[in-house]
Amino acid sequence: MKKIIIDLTRENDKPFYPRDVRNYVGSIVSKEFEDIFMWHERSTAPFIYSMPQKHSIAIQTYQSDLQDAIEHLCGKLIANPILKLNGASARIKNVTLKNIDYSSFATGMYEYQTRTPLIIGTTPGHKRDFMELLDAGNDAAYEMSQFIRQSIIETIETQSRHWFGEGVDLTDNLMIVMKSSFKPFLLHYKEKRDYPAVMMNFVSNIRLPGYVGYKIGMGYGELRHISHVKTNKIKTSGEKNV
């Protein structure tokens, strides 16, 4: 995994968001790279724009074939150090490229907390089923947990094909145990779009990527890894469990 960390000197305290960062990147990169950084396709985004910290921005990718695009962006960031983002003003102080080790889908007991809302559906059917469960409240707590689990499974299996070039079957392997801070809600995404989402603490028996769910390119579904006990790695296509 490659991670571009952009350290900032803030000139005011107005907030800005991943979409603002993406639009800034799209305005400075060459046309050759514009589509891959802006990414308007329905498939998994190659670059993830994390929710900005007060004095830094992170842009990252799990794909290994984007080195030219990464080097191009780093050069453009250095050459264009003034950021005007949704009313926020900042100057780039430093650009650092890091290699982040990610051993995919190791097994153990991993505790996570969502840093940003985890979007668990984007279709009208997702929203309809989610609202029925949400309206039922505690009477449908188990069904809601399974709805969320299935969403995580579907998105990770799709992401793994794009990022790692491997098929991962989590249907019979993934266990998710939600803690008491489990909070499902309807997220206003943009314009007239509202998506089912959740903020939660949970334990998984498989190490998950740093982002899960839908719309991760815009920083949604970011997981904060709290703790783990390592064991093995689950099977991918053509492998057997250890």
Coil, strand or helix: which one is 65? Answer: coil
- Can you tell me whether residue 108 is helix, strand or coil? strand
- pTM of the predicted model, to two decimals? 0.85
pLDDT (tens place) for every residue of the chain, 242 residues total: 899 999 999 998 888 999 999 999 999 999 999 999 999 887 888 999 999 998 999 999 988 889 999 999 999 999 999 988 888 899 999 999 998 776 567 788 999 999 999 999 889 999 999 999 999 988 888 898 889 888 888 888 888 777 777 677 777 888 888 876 678 999 998 777 899 999 999 999 988 888 999 999 999 999 998 887 665 555 544 443 33
Count of CB atoms situated within 10 Å of the CB of 47? 22
Sorted by sequence, the CB contacts under 8 Å of residue 123 that are 6+ apart come out as none
pLDDT at residue number 38: 95
**How far is the C-alpha of 60 from the C-alpha of 182, rounded, in Å?**
27
Alpha-carbon torsion angle 209, 43, 116, 205, nearest 10: -30
> Which domains, from first to last, does the chain contain?
2-99 (3.30.70.1890), 106-233 (3.30.70.1900)
Distance of CA 163 to the CA centre of its chain: 13
